[in-house]
Amino acid sequence: SEAPAPYPAGDEDLAYLIYTSGSTGRPKGVAIPYRALRAFLGWARTRFTPEDLEVVLAATSVSFDLSVFEVFLPLAVGGSLRLVDNAPHLADQPGVRPTLINTVPSAMTELLRAGAIPRDVRVVNLAGEPLPRTLADAVYARAGSA
């Protein structure tokens, strides 16, 4: 519709639409209502402090749901985000100093290999792929890692 979206948005109004093939292999649109977005961001605000969210690395494609966390959560608590093409590119941008990195284990492996995890990082979230115990141990062992 070309009509302006209702304001404020109601719980059942559309927050966003994401396309997924899920387990079927056939693409389909999934409508995410505002109530789901509010619930997710509300939960996340109880799990992460404003200090954790001061500077969030935003490297996830907006084609994936997890980008909602990286973009909207820090903004909802007065934080900021730093956009990069993908998490391993953080190694090429020494001025980008996030407090939270949210990525997949394979990207974190590359960041560790390159010694590119900034000292300001307080939180590392890893999801979307199997997490080897050796990688979890290496992230915890990194000096200065909270």
Q: What is the mean pLDDT of residues 130-135?
A: 96
The arrangement of strands across the sheet holding 55-58 comes to: 80-83, 55-58, 100-103, 123-126
66 pLDDT tier (thresholds 50, 70, 90): confident
pLDDT, tens digit, 9 for 90 and up, residues 86-101? 888 887 777 888 999 9
Q: What is the mean pLDDT of residues 74-85?
A: 92
- What does the alpha-carbon distance between residue 62 and residue 85 come to, in Å, rounded to a whole number? 11
Task: Tell whether pTM > 0.85.
Answer: no
